[in-house]
Structure 1
Amino acid sequence: MPTDIFPTPPVEAPPSSKLAIVAALAANLAIAVIKFVAAAFTGSSAMLAEGIHSVVDTANEWLLLLGLRKSQRPAHAGRPFGYGRELYFWSFVVAICIFAIGGGISIYEGIEHLRHPTPLGDPTWNYVVLGLAFLFDGASFLVARRTFNEQRAGRPFWTTFRESKDPSIFVVLFEDAADLLGLLVAFLGVFLSHQLHNPRLDGAASLLIGVILLVVAGLLLRENRSLLLGEPAGTDLLGQITAHARADAAVVAVAEPLSSYLSPHEILLVLRVEFVPRLAATELTQAVERLRTSIQQQFPDIRHVFIQPAFLQNA
């Protein structure tokens, strides 16, 4: 008799996640405006690429906020498990935007500037804008890093990234890191172009910014695709759930749990359990309900539990 908890309230996004996204959106919107102004005055291809990069990032933060809002809609008969994966879908769209728009246009601008180099104007605008942009992006990056470090809890960076189920945190972190690295490349492109009187170096900087965006987008696409397809819960968590179930007096054996993340803090769990033989129907119902309730109390992220009584010869 499979059993599941009745419709549960939507999972609210942690305030820190929204704060990191809003901080990045405000920073990128301001930076995009001043970058385009600087590009218009100086004719810098790298600065134009950076302006495009900031516009894409601004749109991306808005899409992440949209995904957070849509993912928190309550479940109903047409969507019994809610809309948690909306966040994963929109995060995947963000990664595509970084790849196709940010990286693609930056590379196109770089190639065009290499083919048809034009002398740059007064670089003062570029240096002022790059300095301001670095301050804005740096502040946004610090907010995103602090939020990500709260999730890390002392674990290695790449381990936390691979195991993270909350793209609203790591997408912003990677975007801000790409922003800062791109600003350094743009500065070198402008500086060396003027010092060496070679405008092609500015185009080469634009190409390098595009490559940086493609690499970041590739990492995000891979991780978000995995989340969108439904990653299982971690082996440690599943092991704890199995041990918890086996500790129940009415349980004889437990098969390996089946699970899937529906949102960063919402897991669907299917548990095949062999109960003590010759339990009356009422006793079996009580045992199933007791086990379901205790699992959800012990592990708050397990929002949907299906317990299937079964005969497990090899469990």
Structure 2
Amino acid sequence: MGHGHGDPKKVVIAALLGNAGIALAKFVAAFISGSATMMAEAVHSLADTANQGFLLLGMKLSDKNTPDRYPLGRSKETYFWAFIVSLFLFFLGGVFAIYEGVHKLTSPPGETGSQLVPMIVLGVSLVMEGMSFRVAFREFNKSRGRKGFLAALFESRDPTIPVVLLEDSGAVFGLLFAFAAVGITVITGDSRVDGVGSLVIGVLLCTIGVALARDTRSLLIGEGVTPEVRERVLQVAHGAPHVLQVRQLLSLHLGPESVLLALKVSFTAELDLPQLEVAINELEERIRQELPQMKKIFVEPDSRYDATLDPSTVAS
């Protein structure tokens, strides 16, 4: 693929440690101040902490080898737990924040506690979330290569780094909204602004949750390799000995670094059965050397040959 790979586990652990401390500080500040925006942010950080735990669990389970029950491996655990993350963001983070905002607007409190502590906590949280975002963004840039930002974000076959990047982006924007809402509440004394801040954070989290759910749903259903990887497979196959033509190419991502590849290939006619077996094995080995993510390769020999077939239009 021609570019570096980010370290998903490094990104997730950095985010987990940061969010755990931030969540605790926000809950303390929320109870002291009675701020709905602060409580929404506290639950947001709690959801993020749980989500990083889910991502780590997915990475751990995806490495388990249980061939009798899962003959193609458990790499899709990564996709499943990333989908759970999107649900947590939507329901625990977004819906709760909207509820808190509506409650604050419809039943404004008579008196609120000191807003100094929330302002301090929000400021420190913004710095810590910014550091976590920086780690995620750096690793994301390593993995995306020359692709555009949005294309790499939503076309990646590994959801881990994009999930953390979106979470951290939501956290930074949420903190900015929260800081503004609490600050305006302090200046004006109008607690309804605090409720509006909580509503804005809730809508932001629900939007991110829906975007993640849509992306991970596609991965769970089963996406093939990217056009760039597909083209590389065809190049390697057509360069292998005795290969005349790749007539069909099917691929399925079983996980971020685990792909099932099926090829229908026309070989030269003079090969007998043992020679054909050697040619198939050599083709599989060449593909694995160039593209190690191709964990399961199946080659079906085909006697037909079409001189007019354009390699770029090989059937999927």
Shift of 1:236: 2.0
1:269 deviates by 0.4
TM-score with structure 1 length normalisation? 0.92
* Aligned Cα root-mean-square deviation (Å): 1.5
Paired residue type of 1:101: L
- The residue that corresponds to 2:171 in the other structure is 179
What residue number does 2:19 align with?
A: 28
Can you list the C-alpha shifts for 1:193-249, whole angstroms capped at 9, x where unaligned?
121221111000000000000111111111111111111001122122113222234
TM-score computed with the length of structure 2 as normaliser: 0.92
Distance 2:228 2:141 in 1: 21
> What does the per-residue CA deviation read over 1:59-92, in whole Å, with 9 as the maximum and x for residues that have no partner?
1111110001001112523212111000000000
- After TM superposition, give the deviation of residue 169 of structure 1 in Å: 0.7
Deviations 1:80-119 (A, max 9, x none): 2111000000000011110111101000000000000114
Task: Kindly tell me the number of residue pairs found equivalent between the two proteins.
Answer: 302
Q: Which moved more, 1:190-199 or 1:42-51?
A: 190-199
Matched with 1:168 is 160
Q: Which residue in the other structure is 2:69 paired with?
A: 78
1:89 to 74, 77, 80: 80
Q: Bigger CA drift: 136-145 or 82-91? A: 136-145
Runs of 4+ residues deviating >4 angstroms: none
Any stretches of 5+ residues in structure 2 without a counterpart?
Answer: 310-316
Cα distance between partner residues in 2 of 1:298 and 1:284:
21
| Contact 1:242/1:256 (<8 A) preserved | no
Q: Which residue of 2 aligns with 1:150?
A: 142
- Kindly report which structure 2 residues correspond to 1:204-243, keeping only aligned pairs within 5 A, or say none: 204-243=196-235
CA–CA distance in structure 2, aligned partners of residues 151 and 245 of structure 1: 25
Q: Secondary structure at the match of 1:255?
A: strand
Query: Does the aligned pair in 1 maintain the 2:241–2:279 contact within 8 Å?
Result: no
The answer to whether 1:45 aligns with 2:47 is no
After TM superposition, the structure 1 = structure 2 runs for residues 10-25 of structure 1, keeping only pairs within 5 Å, are 16-25=7-16
Aligned partner of 1:98 in structure 2 is 89
**Counterpart amino acid of residue 239 in structure 2:** A
Segment of structure 1 superposing worse, 103-112 or 230-239: 230-239
User: Which runs of 5 or more residues in structure 1 are unaligned?
Assistant: 1-13
The Cα shift of 1:313 comes to 5.0
Q: Any conservation in 1 of the 2:140–2:162 contact (CA below 8 Å)?
A: yes
User: What's the offset of the Cα at 1:153?
Assistant: 2.1
Indicate yes or no: 2:231 matched with 1:257: no
% same residue: 37
Task: Indicate if the aligned counterparts of 1:50 and 1:183 stay in contact, CA closer than 8 A.
Answer: yes
In structure 1, what is the Cα distance between the partners aligned to 2:102 and 2:65? 48
